[in-house]
Amino acid sequence: METMKSFIKRNGIEGTFEPISTRPDGLMRESARHYKVTLRIQDGALSPKPMTLYFSQGELCDAPTVEDVLSCIQSDTTNESTFEEWCSDFGYDTDSRQALATFNACVDQERKAERFLGASYRILLHNVEPL
C-alpha cells in the first residue's frame, strides 16, 4: 500500500482552494466551510485538464489539503453500486431526494476523478492507504 502523500507526489498533483459561502449543488450544512477546489497535474503542457469540485468540511477543521480532497474522493466512491446498495452501505433512506442528490454528486465526482487521474484512479481506490 502507498501513502496518500506518496501518491500525490508521484503523480505531481497540486491544488488550489477558493473559499465560497455555499455550494452551488446545495449539499452540506451551511455551517460547514465550503471550497471550490481545482486539482492539477504539475507536468505542464502534457497534463490533463484540471479537475474542479466542491469540498466541504466542519467549521472547526484546518484549511483543507490535496490529501484531504483525494481521501474524500477515495471514501465517497460508490464502487459502481446501485443507489439502493449505496444507501444501505452509508445509512441513507432510499426515499430521500437529498440522498439521491448526494449519490449523484458522488457518481459525478467519480467520473471527474477517473478522467483526471486516468489509470491512477484505480490505484487511488485500491492501493493507497486512507487517511
Instruction: Give domain status of residue 86, yes or no.
Output: yes
Q: How many domains does the structure of the chain reveal?
A: 1
**DSSP tag of 62:** P
Residue 117 confidence (pLDDT) above 60: yes
pTM for this structure? Answer: 0.87
Joined together, the cell numbers standing for residue 92 give: 441513507
SS3 call for 86? helix
What average pLDDT does range 54-80 have in this prediction?
A: 90
Instruction: Give domain status of residue 17, yes or no.
Output: yes
Instruction: Give domain status of residue 76, yes or no.
Output: yes
Instruction: Give domain status of residue 66, yes or no.
Output: yes
Domain that holds residue 112: 4-123
Instruction: Give domain status of residue 55, yes or no.
Output: yes
Instruction: Give domain status of residue 131, yes or no.
Output: no
C-beta of residue 103 within 8 angstroms of C-beta of residue 81: no
Residue 76 confidence (pLDDT) above 60: yes
What average pLDDT does range 84-106 have in this prediction?
A: 92
pLDDT band at residue 123 under the 50/70/90 scheme? very high
Instruction: Give domain status of residue 77, yes or no.
Output: yes
Instruction: Give domain status of residue 61, yes or no.
Output: yes
